[in-house]
């Protein structure tokens, strides 16, 4: 087709006529839908865009992440029609020097190479901060749009969607439809007459009475009529859409999906009235795509099957939806680890806390997370855990141990329990040589530009701190990120304190045994089962009650009795009975492995268990697990209704009990055990909630 010069025609009727004329003359061009739905994001941190892909993929966008120039050009050779998102971090990494001149040179080089090799490609530049100089350099280099790479993925998703729509409107839709008014006037009269809009079918006058935006279509998705509100939403003139296929409004992939939903009666979401519901991206008359929710209702018109499509613009709710997805992911992370840390054995604490730190850092998109622990003399801190993205420089090389001094300003503030946001690279440059900050000097050696340090407290004394770092100069902390990390740090603080207390309990038990070493083993241990005896149980119970009072924590106690054990002795003999009691004792030890758990033989076939720190629900779960383990051993017992050894358990739980309530705790546990036997044995009965489990 010959090149046409002149003014750009913006009238919709003229645009339609120009399209038809171009089509008749054999011209071929790609639709706005095809041009925009493919997006390539170029960044070394491809994994940080997972949340963005999840938000935009349902809207019909095909998003790929690449981390090198070679991979980018290989993709573009296969997908020549797409939008490329160049990130600031990628350009700076390619420039290898973080200076304005090198950035300007590299952005010009990258954009020039892409534009010369692939002229149809659109380019968006994503800056890490609102830097006007970088934006101007990028625009001068020839990019189509610029946006800010916000740390909140849902915000960046909204910005990217808006930018894609701007490009579609400005560069794709209008640029491919430029014809002159003179050329349009030269069209044959009969050709011009054929471009007039088709009149509204008089039998469909009721469409305007339908609330909201509505249209009626055939099973092949041909539009028979569109009401005024829908035409206004999509930017078309009255009756302009009549007679056209919905391919005019939808990308090919979404058109196929909608066709499947219209012609299927099952397997798709429906509203309370049974109408099919779906979410799509509709292309307006100016080429801008908007997310919409579409309700599909089948009707009969003139004895023919027709479908009414109610369309709702949901672009305003997309940001809220993405916000909720991000918060749900964070709450799920914290909730999952909270449940794990409640009953976790002390020997597994370190690994779980480390995984929690790494998962939290990845969700916030940090490049480093560290955990330092302060020694008992409080004169140094030791690096006990570090995770870095892409195996970058480790603090172990420079700062595995930090020695304190009186002049360390940042260390002193941290030891006072104050949270700190540091800018190590800037702080070190601006600080006088005779002034020691204490932490910035260490963090600057691994190119940490921004660090958030959170102290771990034990009764207002700092015993450790967690550090989260950003490695890029343009990355700064947002208040939402700080609040979430504070929440995460509080969970870790409580977990580390629990580990500390349980280790202390273990040492206390060892010390207690050593202190009474001069007494015979019978003074503390049961001779048959080698468990603690009743006297030792009473002493430990008193100590745990005092600790629960001081810590204002929960204390749970179990009384357990082997079912029909007298009948077992009468049938199998006392020697077999002793062997059975030893087996039951081993089951208790394997079921209660936490450092603070304490098991004793209370007398005869009765056992007692102390579970510090567990509330009623978690203590119930632990007791029921022990009961099931014993039942699964299937120790034969002919004189029992179940024909095997089982056990009944009474449970009581109190929060922050006092020493004078020790007898009350024992009475409650004993009453709960009595009710468990009364209800039929082989169950756990909770005194506090009157709850039993078979």
Q: Do 203 and 267 have their domain in common?
A: yes
Q: Sheet of 213-217: strands edge to edge?
A: 223-226, 213-217, 304-313, 289-301, 276-283
Asked whether residue 156 is domain-assigned, the answer is yes
Q: Do 524 and 646 have their domain in common?
A: yes
How far apart CA 560 and CA 684 sit, in angstroms, is: 9
Q: Do 375 and 489 have their domain in common?
A: yes
Asked whether residue 186 is domain-assigned, the answer is no
Range of the structural domain that residue 609 is part of:
517-693
Q: Do 218 and 359 have their domain in common?
A: no
Q: Do 156 and 280 have their domain in common?
A: no
Q: How confident is residue 620, by pLDDT bands cut at 50, 70 and 90? A: very high
Q: Which of 25-39, 41-55, 295-309, 379-393 bottoms out in mean pLDDT, i.e. has the lowest?
A: 25-39
**For residues 423-441, average pLDDT:** 68
Q: Does 318 have pLDDT greater than 70? A: no
For residue 670, give Cα distances in angstroms to 10, 614, 648: 87, 19, 11
Angle between helices 315-342 and 349-364 (to 10 degrees): 170
Q: How many helices (H) and strands (E) does the chain have?
A: 24, 22
Domain count within the chain: 4
The tens digit of pLDDT for each residue in 501-552 reads 777 777 777 777 666 565 555 578 888 998 999 989 999 999 999 999 998 8
Asked whether residue 191 is domain-assigned, the answer is no
CB 474 within 8 Å of CB 131: yes
Q: Do 222 and 308 have their domain in common?
A: yes
Return the pLDDT at 177: 37
Return the pLDDT at 181: 33
Average pLDDT, the chain: 78
Q: Does 493 have pLDDT greater than 80? A: yes
**For residues 414-441, average pLDDT:** 74
Return the pLDDT at 685: 94
Q: What is the 8-class DSSP label of residue 636?
A: B
Q: Does 11 have pLDDT greater than 90? A: no
Answer with the one of 502, 535, 568 that is the final residue of a domain. 502
Return the pLDDT at 265: 54
CATH code for the domain of 56 = 3.40.50.2300
What is the distance between the terminal CA atoms of the chain, rounded to a whole angstrom?
Answer: 83
How far apart CA 579 and CA 576 sit, in angstroms, is: 5
Asked whether residue 257 is domain-assigned, the answer is yes
Q: Does 600 have pLDDT greater than 80? A: yes
Q: What percentage of residues in the chain have a pLDDT greater than 90?
A: 22
| Nearest Cα residue to 291 out of 266, 265, 311 | 311
Q: Do 99 and 246 have their domain in common?
A: no
Q: How confident is residue 637, by pLDDT bands cut at 50, 70 and 90? A: very high
Residue 21: half-sphere exposure toward Cβ, Cα within 13 Å: 26
Q: At residue 127, what are phi and psi to the nearest 5 degrees?
A: -85, 150
How far apart CA 608 and CA 614 sit, in angstroms, is: 16
Q: Which residues sit opposite 485 in a β-bridge?
A: none
Asked whether residue 146 is domain-assigned, the answer is yes
Q: Does 586 have pLDDT greater than 50? A: yes
Q: Do 423 and 447 have their domain in common?
A: yes
How far apart CA 229 and CA 241 sit, in angstroms, is: 13
pLDDT higher at 492 or 1: 492
| pTM over 0.75, yes/no | no
| 551: its two tokens | 């810590």
Q: Which residues sit opposite 450 in a β-bridge?
A: 470
**For residues 349-367, average pLDDT:** 86
**For residues 395-420, average pLDDT:** 81
| Nearest Cα residue to 389 out of 359, 372, 366, 355 | 366
pLDDT higher at 685 or 185: 685
Return the pLDDT at 605: 93
Block residue for tokens 């015979």? 520
Answer with the one of 124, 154, 181 that is the final residue of a domain. 181
Q: Do 406 and 285 have their domain in common?
A: no
Q: How confident is residue 675, by pLDDT bands cut at 50, 70 and 90? A: very high
Q: Which residues sit opposite 125 in a β-bridge?
A: 86, 146
Q: Sheet of 461-470: strands edge to edge?
A: 401-403, 380-388, 368-374, 461-470, 450-458, 420-422
How far apart CA 176 and CA 483 sit, in angstroms, is: 48
CB 238 within 8 Å of CB 268: no
**For residues 264-291, average pLDDT:** 69
Q: Where are the beta strands (DSSP E) in 220-326?
A: 223-226, 276-283, 289-301, 304-313
Q: How confident is residue 26, by pLDDT bands cut at 50, 70 and 90? A: very low
The pairing of strands 38-42 and 83-87 is parallel
Angle between helices 315-342 and 153-167 (to 10 degrees): 160
Q: Does 669 have pLDDT greater than 90? A: yes
Asked whether residue 598 is domain-assigned, the answer is yes
DSSP-assigned letters across all residues of 534-579 = HHHHHHHHHHHHHHHHHHT-EEEEEEEEETTHHHHHHHH-HHHHHH
H-assigned helices in 436-573: 440-444, 479-515, 534-551, 565-572
The pairing of strands 420-422 and 684-686 is unpaired
Q: Does 180 have pLDDT greater than 60? A: no
Q: Which of 5-9, 127-131, 373-377 bottoms out in mean pLDDT, i.e. has the lowest?
A: 5-9
**For residues 443-450, average pLDDT:** 84
CB 594 within 8 Å of CB 345: yes
Q: How confident is residue 589, by pLDDT bands cut at 50, 70 and 90? A: very high
Q: What angle do CA 101, 142, 291 make, to 5 degrees?
A: 120
| 501: its two tokens | 């207390």
The tens digit of pLDDT for each residue in 552-566 reads 899 999 999 999 999
Q: How many CB atoms lie within 10 A of CB 112?
A: 12
For residue 642, give Cα distances in angstroms to 378, 638, 645, 681: 60, 8, 8, 10
Return the pLDDT at 519: 55
Q: Do 552 and 600 have their domain in common?
A: yes
3-state secondary structure of 630: helix
Q: Do 57 and 22 have their domain in common?
A: yes
CATH code for the domain of 217 = 3.30.450.20
Q: Do 214 and 356 have their domain in common?
A: no
Asked whether residue 4 is domain-assigned, the answer is no
Q: How confident is residue 690, by pLDDT bands cut at 50, 70 and 90? A: low
CATH code for the domain of 654 = 3.30.70.270
Q: Does 440 have pLDDT greater than 70? A: yes
pLDDT higher at 30 or 487: 487
Asked whether residue 322 is domain-assigned, the answer is no
**For residues 330-350, average pLDDT:** 80
Answer with the one of 502, 526, 545 that is the final residue of a domain. 502
CATH code for the domain of 420 = 3.30.450.40
Q: Does 218 have pLDDT greater than 70? A: yes
Return the pLDDT at 186: 44
Q: Which of 52-66, 211-225, 386-400 bottoms out in mean pLDDT, i.e. has the lowest?
A: 52-66
Return the pLDDT at 4: 30
Q: How confident is residue 275, by pLDDT bands cut at 50, 70 and 90? A: low
3-state secondary structure of 206: helix
Return the pLDDT at 176: 37
Q: Which of 72-76, 176-180, 450-454, 666-670 bottoms out in mean pLDDT, i.e. has the lowest?
A: 176-180
């Amino acid at each position: 087709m010959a090149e046409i010069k002149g003014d750009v025609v913006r009238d919709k009727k003229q645009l339609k006529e120009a399209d038809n004329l171009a089509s008749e003359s054999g011209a071929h061009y790609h639709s706005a839908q095809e041009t925009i739905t493919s997006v390539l994001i170029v960044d070394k941190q491809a994994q940080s865009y997972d949340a963005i892909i999840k938000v935009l993929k349902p809207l019909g966008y095909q998003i790929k992440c690449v981390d090198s120039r070679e991979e980018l050009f290989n993709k573009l050779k296969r997908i020549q029609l797409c939008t490329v998102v160049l990130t600031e971090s990628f350009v700076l990494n390619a420039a290898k020097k973080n200076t304005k001149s090198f950035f300007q040179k590299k952005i010009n080089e990258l954009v020039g190479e892409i534009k010369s090799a692939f002229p149809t490609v659109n380019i968006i530049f994503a800056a890490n901060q609102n830097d006007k100089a970088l934006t101007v350099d990028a625009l001068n280099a020839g990019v189509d749009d610029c946006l800010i790479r916000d740390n909140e993925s849902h915000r960046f998703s909204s910005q990217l969607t808006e930018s894609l729509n701007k490009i579609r409107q400005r560069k794709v839709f209008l640029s491919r439809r430029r014809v002159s008014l003179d050329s349009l006037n030269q069209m044959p009269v009969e050709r011009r007459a054929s471009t007039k809009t088709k009149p509204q079918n008089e039998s469909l006058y009721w469409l305007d009475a339908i609330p909201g935006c509505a249209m009626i279509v055939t099973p092949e998705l041909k539009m028979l009529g569109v009401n005024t509100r829908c035409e206004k939403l999509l930017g078309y003139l009255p009756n302009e859409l009549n007679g056209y296929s919905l391919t005019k409004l939808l990308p090919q992939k979404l058109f196929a999906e909608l066709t499947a939903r219209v012609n299927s009666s099952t397997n798709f979401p429906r509203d309370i009235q049974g109408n099919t519901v779906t979410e799509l991206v509709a292309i307006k008359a100016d080429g801008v795509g908007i997310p919409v929710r579409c309700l599909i209702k089948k009707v009969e018109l003139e004895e023919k099957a027709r479908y009414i499509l109610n369309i709702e613009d949901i672009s305003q709710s997309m940001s809220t939806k993405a916000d909720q997805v991000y918060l749900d992911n964070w709450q799920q992370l914290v909730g999952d680890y909270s449940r794990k840390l409640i009953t976790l054995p002390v020997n597994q604490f370190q690994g779980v806390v480390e995984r929690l730190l790494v998962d939290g850092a990845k969700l916030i998109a940090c490049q480093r997370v560290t955990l330092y622990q302060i020694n008992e003399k409080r004169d140094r801190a030791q690096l006990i855990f570090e995770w870095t993205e892409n195996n970058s420089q480790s603090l172990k090389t420079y700062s595995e141990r930090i020695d304190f001094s009186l002049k360390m300003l940042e260390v002193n503030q941290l030891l006072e329990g104050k949270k700190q946001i540091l800018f190590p690279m800037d702080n070190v440059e601006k600080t006088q040589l005779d002034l020691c900050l204490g932490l910035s000097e260490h963090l600057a050696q691994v190119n940490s530009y921004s660090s958030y340090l959170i102290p771990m407290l034990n009764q207002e004394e700092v015993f450790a701190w967690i550090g989260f770092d950003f490695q890029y100069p343009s990355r700064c902390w947002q208040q939402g990120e700080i609040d979430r990390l504070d929440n995460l740090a509080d969970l870790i603080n409580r977990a580390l304190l629990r580990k500390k207390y349980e280790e202390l309990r273990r040492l206390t038990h060892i010390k207690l045994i050593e202190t009474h070493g001069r007494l015979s083993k019978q003074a503390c241990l049961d001779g048959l089962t080698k468990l603690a005896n009743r006297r030792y149980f009473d002493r430990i119970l008193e100590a745990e009650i005092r600790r629960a009072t001081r810590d204002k924590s929960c204390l749970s106690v179990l009384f357990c009795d082997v079912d029909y054990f007298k009948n077992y002795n009468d049938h199998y003999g006392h020697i077999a009975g002793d062997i059975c009691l030893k087996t039951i004792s081993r089951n208790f030890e394997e079921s209660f492995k936490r450092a603070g758990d304490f098991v004793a033989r209370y007398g005869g076939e009765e056992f007692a268990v102390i579970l510090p720190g567990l509330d009623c629900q978690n203590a119930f779960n632990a007791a029921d697990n022990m009961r099931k383990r014993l039942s699964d051993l299937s120790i034969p017992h002919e004189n029992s209704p179940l024909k095997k050894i089982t056990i009944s358990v009474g449970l009581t739980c109190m929060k922050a009990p006092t020493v004078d309530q020790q007898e009350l705790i024992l009475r409650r546990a004993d009453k709960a055990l009595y009710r468990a036997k009364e209800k039929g044995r082989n169950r756990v009965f909770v005194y506090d909630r009157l709850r039993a489990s078979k």
